[in-house]
Amino acid sequence: MLDQLYVLQAKSILIIDIFLIIIGTCYLIKWGKIRVAIDLIVKRLGSKNIKRGLVVLILIWQLVMILSISGFSTWDPGIIILQATGQKQWVPDYFSYNQNTLPLMFFEHLVWRLIGSPSYKVLTIVLNIINMILVDTSVYLLLKHEKQRLNKKTLNYISICICLLMLVTPWICLPYSDPLSFAFTIFVYLGLKSLNERYSLLKAIIVGTLIAVNYFIKPSTVIILIAYIIVSFVFTISSKKLIINLLKKLTIIFATMFVLISGFNLYKSHNSIVKIDNSKALNLVHFADMGIQGTGGYYLPDVDHDIKIKNPKERLKSDKEIWLKRFNKMGPFKYQAFLVRKQVANTEDSSFHWGKEGEFINSFSRSQYSLPRKLFLDNDGIARKYQETFAIVIQLCWIILLANLVFAFQNSDYDSQLFKYSIVGFFTFLLIFESGRSRYLIQFLPLIILLSGIGYENLKPKEKV
């Protein structure tokens, strides 16, 4: 991100200068007069009509992005989509080693079958449209729910953050787990909140299903359930009746998850799409080994090392030895410094390291004239970074969002505690295991934004909703 902030093109500097001139002019002629004019326009058009118009513009923008940016990725998404469409991919036994990607591959294969087994290019576009529908639906339901408890300014703040960081950015154009986990994290949060408000057996089963689906997409998202259990027990410990009700909810949730996960494992062992060798599965310590070297990101030598060891027990033993060796080489103090650097790497980039994995996306479209292509792709149609001016705007939003988290520390209500425990849990997970990129934040980005909204609200006088 630093190169984007320091190495600006002449056009980018010109745009920033124009922006500053506009701000200065507004100040000189008094902002109040401009605000009166804006209020008059809003009154005549109607705030609801303006909101509807913005929603339509965002939907059109997203469709244009999907058509302009969708392409092939020479990393995990590409491997998954080739396998899902019955084509040969370039990593032998990939799904035996990385079994956490199997649910996504099975889902893509199902969609491929349902739409008539088209080319992987058509499937990519369809999957990205599904991303768009799920992300937009989840955001709509979230804002509708939060409208009941937040004042108008805070709701607008949350809406702007979600819009700038997710809705108008190209992440829905990647057929991978990141946009899906963003949506299902919202679904899980709303499901748990609804279950707290009024218990029913059907609700508990639906929530258990949502948590299981989110687990299939990103196993680390189970942290939300762990945070929910901890916070709920703390808030109900004084009442025997509330504790019994909580245990009842959790029993149904865990039973539902157990049935779904067991059913998936049974299907996995007998599927006809790809042969799975469970003895090759990479263990958790393998990912912890990656998480304690370099910047804590993907490390190919560790993968090659584990592939060479055929016995799972020997592999696990060797991985433990590697972790201890790396930790002892650092020592406790250097390890703490390493974790600080890793946390910076995990949170520094508001683009969530768009374009930083392999050949991230090589667009199918060769048109040179679409705006999304100019903002998010290079001249050769490959995704590498956001356009500089756009990146600065998004980075400023990200800095403000993170800064507002500080002002939420004082809150001890249920929602605040749930967000805090979830976020701390996710950050801890990322510090221990493979990460080193901001992309891993997308799975719990909604929770970060919601907690930041609470911090923002603390800066303002309380208003009636």
- Asked if residue 286 is part of any domain, the answer here is no
91 and 1 share one domain:
no
Examine the domain organization and report whether 1 and 98 are in the same domain.
no
Closest C-alpha to 353, from 409, 437, 242: 437
| Domain match, 134 and 41 both | no
State which H helix or E strand residue 362 sits in.
strand 362-363
Whether 464 is covered by a domain: the verdict is no
Does residue 281 contact residue 96 with C-beta atoms inside 8 Å?
Answer: yes
Contact 204/249 with Cβ under 8 angstroms? yes
Same domain flag for 33 and 97: no
Higher pLDDT, 387 or 227: 227
- Taking only the tens place, the pLDDT of each residue in 247-280 is 999 999 999 999 999 999 999 999 999 999 999 9
Q: Are residues 227 and 142 in the same domain?
A: yes
Is residue 187 in some structural domain? yes
183/105 same-domain check: yes
Please list the residues that pair with 71 across neighbouring strands.
363
Task: Say whether both 98 and 169 belong to one domain.
Answer: yes
* Residue 363, strand partner residues: 71
pLDDT digits (tens, 9 = 90+) for 330-374: 999 999 999 999 999 999 999 999 998 889 999 998 877 788 999
Q: Is residue 323 part of a domain?
A: no
Q: Are residues 124 and 255 in the same domain?
A: yes
Compute φ and ψ for 214, nearest 5 degrees: -65, -35
For residue 44, what pLDDT is reported?
61
User: Which residues contact residue 257 at a Cβ distance below 8 angstroms, ignoring those fewer than 6 apart?
Assistant: 208, 211, 212, 215
Task: Let me know if residue 335 belongs to a domain.
Answer: no
Domain that holds residue 40: 1-45
| Residue 241 domain-assigned (yes or no) | yes
Extended strands (E) in 42-99: 71-72
pLDDT of residue 368: 73
**Together in a domain, 92 and 11:** no
Task: Tell me how many domains the chain contains.
Answer: 2
Same domain for 58 and 157, yes or no, is yes
**pLDDT for res 50:** 77
Whether residue 5 is contained in a domain is answered as yes
Are the C-beta atoms of residues 37 and 103 closer than 8 Å to each other?
no
> Is there a contact between 229 and 250 (Cβ–Cβ < 8 Å)?
yes
Co-location of 149 and 35 in the same domain: no
CA distance 79 to 77: 6
Measured in whole angstroms, the distance separating CA 292 from the mean position of its chain's CA atoms is 23
255 & 183 share domain? yes
On the question of pLDDT at 27 being above 60, the answer is: no
